[in-house]
Structure 1
Amino acid sequence: MPADISPPMTKGKTPIVVRVLVLATFVVILNETIMINAIPALMDYFQVTEVAAQWVSTAFMLTMAAIIPTTGWFLQRVTTRQAYATAMGVFIAGTVICALAPTFAVLLIGRIIQAGGTAVMMPLLMTTLMTVVAERDRGRVMGNVTLAISVAPAMGPVVSGLILQIEGPHAWRLLFVMMLPITGLVTWLGLRQLDNVGEPQPSELDLPSVALAGLGFGGLVFGLSKFHGDSYTVAALITAGGIALIAAFALRQVWLQRNGTPLLDLRVLLQGTYTKALVLMSLAFLAMMGSMILLPLYLQNLRGLSAFQTGLLVMPGGLAMGLLGPTVGKLFDKFGGRILVISGSIGIAASLAGFTQISMTMPYWQLLGLHIVLMVSLAAAFTPVFTLGLGALPMHLYSHGSSMLGTIQQVAAAFGTALVVTVMSARSTSLIDEGTPVAVATLDGMRLSFMIIAGLALIVIAMAVLLPNRAAVDPHAAPVDESDAPELVKH
């Protein structure tokens, strides 16, 4: 988007374009977690193993990781309406395929197509928000974004658990059927209400960069997912291969910054505030995903709760996180980000430390309280971090900054999952070999996993202290001339 666009928003009002994109993002992100409770039903219907059935979630995450790096280029190439129509159209097509899937392979194809549409929505929302919302109001509006991206994942397992109470072999199809009228209505409203923000900037698509990004980030996420019960050697080799391809992708982008159009402009990393925010967000997201994996395992495998009961127990935390988002945003606009991010970071570490004390008899109200503290603390951190990080970038880098944030989120989610499952499995297996009862060994492995992510949360506190109170640069400044760029661009 060109740099001469100024935010058309007046203080106290949220532009229609942002409201529509928040609603659409809520719908597509809800879909990301809605299949969690459907694994047993899919195993029974398609006669596949649990490992195979898990691919309905793994394939979604892999596709997101592979596609999001290309969205920075895509969003600069098309209008807002074109990007929205493409994202929602692809998502609806994937949903139809999933609803009608006659085989498990077709279902996976549908999920991959769904993920392709979802991958565009979050960067589109972030880029548009940073372009049209005045700096003084970004915290409040970003708080509404937090509501969408936190409540939706929390509601997914609960909604699916409720729908899957319906008897019948095809009950899982209703998870997609119910999405169609909602998504169709949101798409129609969006195309009626959306105005284009900025003008497209035609540029060539570098196909080697697309291949390196897809194979690199997709390979990294896939390698991390292979740590879940597979050969650690194979998982490590795939992960290392993904990292090597990402390194090649980065070198290619640096070269294109001098000789062409980069797919993902790495100059965003030259903004210190953005880079600090990226690290903080990654570690906080890793901690959140780690807890999201461990808590259901603990509640269902050790405490005997059903998937639906587990969803109900963790839902208040997700709702609290989302509903407090707008309030956190207003506090950010008034007081700045430092006190919110530092307080939130301390709350994250404290709640995770509390989870290291889980036992077979810990009261559910204590678990509920710890989870709410964790989610509220994440809300206090995420809204300011997103706003400060993207606000530190010049306008012409918004789409690339949003794309990198989305990519790193997917990698952090995969790494967090791999970390906690690997630590838990290794610890419990070691204790079982020593003669410890399975339940006791598993519980000890979960405690150790919580301890490790609580330790990582201490780094979040350190990064929070380094963040400024406000964005350090004028985000509407003209693009920087490459001749004045730092060494990363020149060499």
Structure 2
Amino acid sequence: MTATAETLQSETKRSWVPLIGLFLAQILMSFNVAALPISIGGMVADFGVPPTTASTTIVVYGLVVAALVMTGAKLGQRVGWVLIFRCVIVVFAGSSLMMILAPSVGWAIAGQCLAGAAAAIIVPSLVALIAENYSGDQQATAIGSLGSARALSGISAFLIGGTLGTLVGWRPVFMIVLALAIAVFLFSFKLRSDKGDAGIRIDLVASALIGLSIMLLTLGFNNLNGWGAFFATPGAPFDVLGISPAPMLIVFGIIFGQAFFAWTRRRMRQDKVPLVDLSVLGSPSERAAVYAMFVVVALEAALNFTVPMYIQIVQGRTPFETSLAMMPFNLTVFITATLVVRFYKRFSPRTIGMAAFVLTTCALVWLSFVVTNNWETLPTILGLIVFGIGQGALVTLMFNVLVTAAPAELAGDVGSIRGSTQNLASAVGTAVVGALLVALLSVGVGRAVAEHPELPDDLVTQVDLDSVNFVSNDRLEEVLSQTDATGAQVEAAVQLNEEQRLRALKLGLLILAGLSAIAILPASRLPRYRPHEIPAPDAASTGS
């Protein structure tokens, strides 16, 4: 960047007040998502429904966001980002009112459908409005704030939501969501944006293809555990020749995804407006940023599933205690996502990306060796902090690479790709690590039982080893009390369970470390430039 350009940039620095509204909008969505798991127990008690029905609120929110986010980006370009942003914030406020006043679980599910539809437009809106309101160093800082907002809302939802849910009830948690929506709406009047282009037509075929693809992929991955990774379990809604529907949904999701890309390329060759302009992924460095973003979000989701699962299910802790155990990690992500922009002037995205993946890899390897049945040990906390540094840096960096490389008018397309990537990666990371850990545990238990003569075959036949899962020692003792096991055999089985749970966890962390190490390869294809050397977007899209 020339001295003249730097001078011009310094002269056009804008107030941070508009960013407060965008920051709160990210917190609004993330707080709502984090509040849903906390509220399931309260909804079960209030509505008299099973937990699986109450958890549908989480499923429908994620599915609607994932299916509509690309269509939402195009709506924003057509209507105008500020106008549609205000409208969907009102819709989000309405969804929180439905949650607060819901007379039945059906109203709660409908409320989260509305929230998901609103979030599908808010996600690309945030990127587009940052691009239209900030540039240069301010833009990089603003992008970093979105990553830190996700971590901050996760902490606050568990602490505030957990406290309110315990002392008052689950509905007041969504009063906070409503207050956030009102605040975001008021701050939206500080935003500036170009008017929409009424001439933009929404490609309904592409919208249907990508919506179906992401919904099928999300449903397939989310149900790998419940329905079976290959062969159908008793919990599967149906099967085809004994095969689980989960992998079939994943296959069909991939097919629809490929059809979407083929259709979009065809429209671009015909000079028609596509649902998403694939030129934002035109260079190897931009595609590498998407691959790397997918991996780091999947790793974050895997760790966010593994640690709470182990603390709550295995150790029997409360959600509040779980949030305290995860606080070092979440705080580290929050701080790193905010401060990493300070390194952009000294190091290239390639250097920062590769170094961050080295940190996440080392952290996961370290955790696999030091983790015990107590997550509050100093070595374990240090491992989570190091992983949080790498993860916080990566999410902000990859997002910044994509926004920087694209023209401002395509910022909404970048936002939709970010939203789709993060939603899908989160589902894949959670589901795959869950299936992996259960598989490792099942193999370990089966082998250990064969090696322990004090656990005879007649006792083993009374326990279904085909449905091995992570359970607490108390739950295992309860199950064994219904068998012919002696006191010594129960003690041996509990010890075996402890050993194999920990072994499965350690192996799972090592496998995640291997995935993190592989991700260094796409990170090595990130741009070499530093922010003050950034070429114009049209030039940046032709190479790295």
Answer yes or no: same fold by TM over 0.5: yes
- Contact (CA 8 Å) 1:276, 1:466: kept in 2 or not? yes
Q: CA deviation at 1:82?
A: 1.0
- Contact (CA 8 Å) 2:79, 2:197: kept in 1 or not? yes
Q: CA deviation at 1:26?
A: 1.7
- Contact (CA 8 Å) 2:129, 2:191: kept in 1 or not? no
C-alpha offsets along residues 366-391 of structure 1, whole Å, 9 cap, x if unaligned? 33222222112112222222112221
For 2:217, the equivalent position in structure 1 comes to: 220
- Structure 2 length normalisation: TM-score? 0.81
Q: CA deviation at 1:310?
A: 0.8
For 2:452, the equivalent position in structure 1 comes to: none
Rounded Cα–Cα distance in structure 1 between residues aligned with 2:33 and 2:205: 29
For 1:415, the equivalent position in structure 2 comes to: 428
- Partner AA of 1:202 in structure 2: G
Change (3 A) 1:10 1:94: farther
Structure with greater Cα Rg: 2
For 1:253, the equivalent position in structure 2 comes to: 264
Q: CA deviation at 1:185?
A: 2.5
For 2:127, the equivalent position in structure 1 comes to: 126
For 2:190, the equivalent position in structure 1 comes to: 193
Rounded Cα–Cα distance in structure 1 between residues aligned with 2:66 and 2:407: 25
Q: Give 3-state SS (helix, strand or coil) of 2:410's partner.
A: helix
Q: CA deviation at 1:61?
A: 1.4
Rounded Cα–Cα distance in structure 2 between residues aligned with 1:84 and 1:333: 32
Q: Which has the higher contact order (CA 8 A, sep 6+)?
A: 1
Matched, 1:162 2:163: yes
Q: CA deviation at 1:441?
A: 3.0
1:355 is aligned, of 347, 367, 374, to: 367
- Structure 1 length normalisation: TM-score? 0.89
For 2:454, the equivalent position in structure 1 comes to: none
For 1:379, the equivalent position in structure 2 comes to: 392
Rounded Cα–Cα distance in structure 2 between residues aligned with 1:197 and 1:22: 20
Q: Give 3-state SS (helix, strand or coil) of 1:229's partner.
A: helix
Q: CA deviation at 1:274?
A: 1.2
- Which segment is superposed worse, 39-48 or 117-126? 39-48
- Partner AA of 2:444 in structure 1: L
- Partner AA of 1:150 in structure 2: A
For 1:340, the equivalent position in structure 2 comes to: 352
Rounded Cα–Cα distance in structure 1 between residues aligned with 2:200 and 2:540: 16
For 2:90, the equivalent position in structure 1 comes to: 89
C-alpha offsets along residues 79-117 of structure 1, whole Å, 9 cap, x if unaligned? 222121122012111111122222222211111111211
Change (3 A) 1:322 1:66: same
Q: CA deviation at 1:262?
A: 1.0
> Mapping of 1:28-47 within 5 angstroms?
28-47=29-48
Rounded Cα–Cα distance in structure 2 between residues aligned with 1:86 and 1:369: 44
Rounded Cα–Cα distance in structure 2 between residues aligned with 1:31 and 1:214: 22
Q: Give 3-state SS (helix, strand or coil) of 1:205's partner.
A: coil
1:278 is aligned, of 287, 290, 299, to: 290
- Contact (CA 8 Å) 2:209, 2:260: kept in 1 or not? yes
Q: CA deviation at 1:64?
A: 1.4
Q: CA deviation at 1:253?
A: 1.2
Rounded Cα–Cα distance in structure 2 between residues aligned with 1:469 and 1:14: 30
Change (3 A) 1:292 1:174: same
Structure 1 segments unaligned to the other structure (5+ residues) = 1-6, 487-491
Q: CA deviation at 1:476?
A: 5.0
Structure 2 segments unaligned to the other structure (5+ residues) = 1-7, 230-243, 450-492
Rounded Cα–Cα distance in structure 2 between residues aligned with 1:137 and 1:216: 36
For 1:397, the equivalent position in structure 2 comes to: 410
| Identical residues among aligned pairs (%) | 21
Q: CA deviation at 1:161?
A: 1.1
- Contact (CA 8 Å) 1:276, 1:467: kept in 2 or not? yes
- Contact (CA 8 Å) 1:220, 1:411: kept in 2 or not? yes
- Which segment is superposed worse, 387-396 or 429-438? 429-438
Rounded Cα–Cα distance in structure 1 between residues aligned with 2:179 and 2:403: 34
- Partner AA of 2:256 in structure 1: L
Matched, 1:454 2:513: yes
Q: CA deviation at 1:199?
A: 4.7
- Partner AA of 1:294 in structure 2: T
For 1:489, the equivalent position in structure 2 comes to: none
2:252 is aligned, of 241, 244, 249, to: 241
1:366 is aligned, of 356, 379, 398, to: 379
Change (3 A) 1:198 1:133: farther
For 1:207, the equivalent position in structure 2 comes to: 204
How many residues are aligned here?
A: 472
Q: CA deviation at 1:221?
A: 0.5
Q: CA deviation at 1:12?
A: 5.7
Rounded Cα–Cα distance in structure 1 between residues aligned with 2:129 and 2:203: 24
C-alpha offsets along residues 196-224 of structure 1, whole Å, 9 cap, x if unaligned? 24653521122222222221111110111
For 2:339, the equivalent position in structure 1 comes to: 327
Rounded Cα–Cα distance in structure 2 between residues aligned with 1:229 and 1:442: 19
- Contact (CA 8 Å) 1:30, 1:152: kept in 2 or not? yes
Rounded Cα–Cα distance in structure 2 between residues aligned with 1:39 and 1:364: 30
> Mapping of 1:42-191 within 5 angstroms?
42-166=43-167, 171-190=169-188
Rounded Cα–Cα distance in structure 2 between residues aligned with 1:224 and 1:397: 30
Rounded Cα–Cα distance in structure 2 between residues aligned with 1:393 and 1:475: 9
- Contact (CA 8 Å) 2:13, 2:134: kept in 1 or not? no
Change (3 A) 1:207 1:165: same
For 1:3, the equivalent position in structure 2 comes to: none
- Partner AA of 2:348 in structure 1: G
Rounded Cα–Cα distance in structure 2 between residues aligned with 1:187 and 1:111: 19
Q: Give 3-state SS (helix, strand or coil) of 1:304's partner.
A: coil
For 1:425, the equivalent position in structure 2 comes to: 438
Change (3 A) 1:200 1:16: farther
1:231 is aligned, of 228, 231, 247, to: 228
